[in-house]
Structure 1
Amino acid sequence: MAAIGVIATLTVAEGKNEDFEAVFAELAAVVRANEPGNVFYALTRSRSNPQVYKVLEQYVDQDALTAHGASDYFQAAGPKLGPCLAGAPDIEYLDAV
């Protein structure tokens, strides 16, 4: 099965960038340490709008992506990240070619 990419676009509320980045840094460290099926998990910020972030992710297969979403630490990050966001995330799934 081919690798799966994910691009999550997140708009952060004014004044919440530092909090958001701190929570995400903790999550990313745990993902990298515990998910052998995760190829990369990187937070990027828009140069044109500093409130817009994109999480760039790649997983070796669907099982690895499913395991990521079901993990306790990913589930626990939601209530911490949610108050930092200005709206719902936009998630795009991609198939590697």
Structure 2
Amino acid sequence: MPHNLIPKDIDMTVFDAPINGRCWKQDCLRRDDLLLMLEKGNKLGYMSFLRQLVNEMLQFRSAAALEERRQRGQGICLLFMLFEWQYKTQDYVNVPLAQL
């Protein structure tokens, strides 16, 4: 497909590698169908569908990356709190009930 039919604001690099959690074959088939229809005509309608597909994939990729970072513990301030609660519970173990 000629590159002049696809606007520059559509990031087609989203199709360079598979995205975990998405059906790669189905996404590529949908992209190919939309590009074929763009070649045949009705550019405005199919351009909108292509934009929607690319935006959906970009959002899915960023959400998957965010979830992966959260599972690794990056970007969450839990590490300090996890270490701190151990010391606080040890302090409270030997405290008589009258002081609480």
Structure with greater contact order relative to length (CA < 8 Å, sep ≥ 6): 1
TM-score of the superposed pair, with normalisation by structure 2: 0.35
Higher strand share: 1
Question: Which entry has the higher C-alpha Rg, 1 or 2?
Answer: 2
TM-score of the superposed pair, with normalisation by structure 1: 0.36
